[in-house]
Structure 1
């Protein structure tokens, strides 16, 4: 197992439950005009559980040591197909539009784009959907990290509103990829980001990093993987040798993405 917190039997059961959830959410999303969606009161939210379930399936599969081609497939579908599709179908204007999902979740989605080796066209569709939130909700605009991710995919430059929207969590990630920083300092900054990532996410109940405290049969633990660190290493060619033994670093995923 790549994740040693949970047992092999836990991952087998968790994957079965996740497959059932995805099947249900896919059927509900396809029949959204006829099927009430649980715990969501507006039409736009109907696609979000499917998006989340696919994303989490990639994390589960990685934790359970599945082959990398299987690992990337659900997350790739979530960020390159369903996210743009959901925004296009429902828009972002409340009360019936897609609600803003947050800065940290956007970081996770962008990292998934990089680690799943999305094409330029797929990345362009993702960011076009993301732009809808900024125009309507003034969700902070592009910071330096998001703008750098766009450049990684060869997309046009966009106005930048700040260095980092959430500096307590992401300043060291920005320093790791900042063109003004010397090359030798990048691995150091990336390690500092990775070292503080879990505590910062857990303190804000962000990025689904607090869900494994009880690994009973109802647990929805998917693994504590910092996709953002791996994506930065891949996209900006940062030496990750110091990170390989870190419990939150998905090193095999980074290796696959580099290939």
Structure 2
């Protein structure tokens, strides 16, 4: 579980210069309480059986928002990226819980038949969808992308070009939309995708220079004037840098560029040369059940309620039977 930094550590570690400790503390404290309280109740069938379906859906929606807040506010505060990556499967689980209870509400007599998306991509909720996709990539957990995109597709009449392009390396059979549902700043990335490799660093640097001014209609714009300020981070610039393997040396210290997320992501993916061939045999930091453990250490899985277990290199990683998560994926604990 993500924890609140004390003020002395926060002063040393914080990444977002506009973040205030009091505001950060209030948001994280409330989010932790919400996640704990809702998490205990949302899967309790006995507790839920007499509750209105609409109220359950609203609670699950708050559960997702609080889970995402823990990630983005903690990143701004300087929390270690490996800690945030460890928590991310819980965020995906909260998205699945939201989808389940939202559909239950739609099927109930409480719903007037007007079906709406779980996250509506033409509204401010696009930013939450973008966080889910980008964090999945930047935390080195692309196995969640299929689940995320399936949930985002629900009742959204159009899909989004940027989201489709971001997931395309891992979901190659997915059609790529040509519509940017949120025009600025995101459609400016189109020319980076289309550019020659040598031109991409300059174009990305320009994108970051223009990012804040182009984001006037996005929900994070001007939020530094509020107590609910998550931080200014162009997660999409980071994800595109990782996907296209752009040399970020010319822009890695620019405002809004989450370089620590990029550095972490690059440590998770096996580097490729320009022809797409493997050029090194980096240690894999996640492992699917029934595969061979690539490194001795403490491993955890959302299928095992994040409980750590020690495995030695060469062991066969076990399956957790009948778990609510489904597939068993183990992650190496990087905190040691």
**Cα distance change on mapping 1:198 and 1:24 into 2, 3 Å:** farther
C-alpha contact (below 8 Å) 2:15/2:75 kept by paired residues: yes
Counterpart residue number, 2:152: 130
User: Is the Cα contact below 8 Å between 2:60 and 2:97 reproduced in 1?
Assistant: no
8 Å CA contact retained: 2:166, 2:239: no
TM-score by length of 1: 0.78
Aligned mates of 2:212, 2:50 — CA distance in 1: 37
Question: Partner of 1:256 in structure 2?
Answer: 264
Q: Higher helix share goes to which structure? A: 1
Matches within 5 A, 1:103-142: 103=122, 104-105=126-127, 106-120=129-143, 122-134=144-156, 138=157, 140-142=158-160
2:168 aligned partner: 151
RMSD of aligned Cα (Å): 2.9
Change beyond 3 A, Cα 1:142–1:10: closer
Contact kept? 2:15, 2:78, Cα under 8 Å: yes
CA offset at residue 71 of structure 1? 2.3
Q: Report which of the two structures shows the higher radius of gyration computed on alpha carbons.
A: 2
Matches within 5 A, 1:205-220: 205-206=218-219, 208-214=220-226, 219-220=227-228
Q: Paired residue for 1:193?
A: 207
- Identify unmatched segments of 5+ residues in structure 2: 1-13, 107-112, 268-336
Structure-1 separation of matches of 2:51 and 2:232: 32
| Matches of 2:230 and 2:50, distance apart in 1 | 28
Q: Which residue of 1 aligns with 2:192?
A: 176
Deviations 1:71-99 (A, max 9, x none): 23344422x32223422443395557654
1:102 to 92, 113, 121: 121
Whether the aligned pair in 1 keeps the contact of 2:98 and 2:118 (CA below 8 Å) is no
Q: Which runs of 5+ in 1 are unaligned?
A: none
**Contact 1:170 1:193 (C-alpha < 8 Å) held by counterparts:** no
Deviation, structure 1 residue 111: 0.9
- Shifted more, 44-53 versus 6-15: the winner is 6-15
How far is 1:213 from its partner?
0.4
What per-residue deviation string (whole Å, max 9, x for no partner) do you get for residues 211-240 of structure 1?
3304xxxx2222111211111111221122
* Residues 90 and 97 in structure 1, CA contact (< 8 A), matched pair in contact too: no
1:45 aligned onto 2:64: no
Counterpart residue number, 2:96: 84
The CA distance in 1 between the partners of 2:188 and 2:176, in whole Å, is 18
Q: Indicate the structure whose relative CO is greater, using CA pairs within 8 Å and at least 6 residues apart.
A: 1
Residues of 2 paired with 1:131 and 1:151: CA distance?
Answer: 15
CA distance in 1, matches of 2:178, 2:115: 30
- Aligned residue pairs total 241
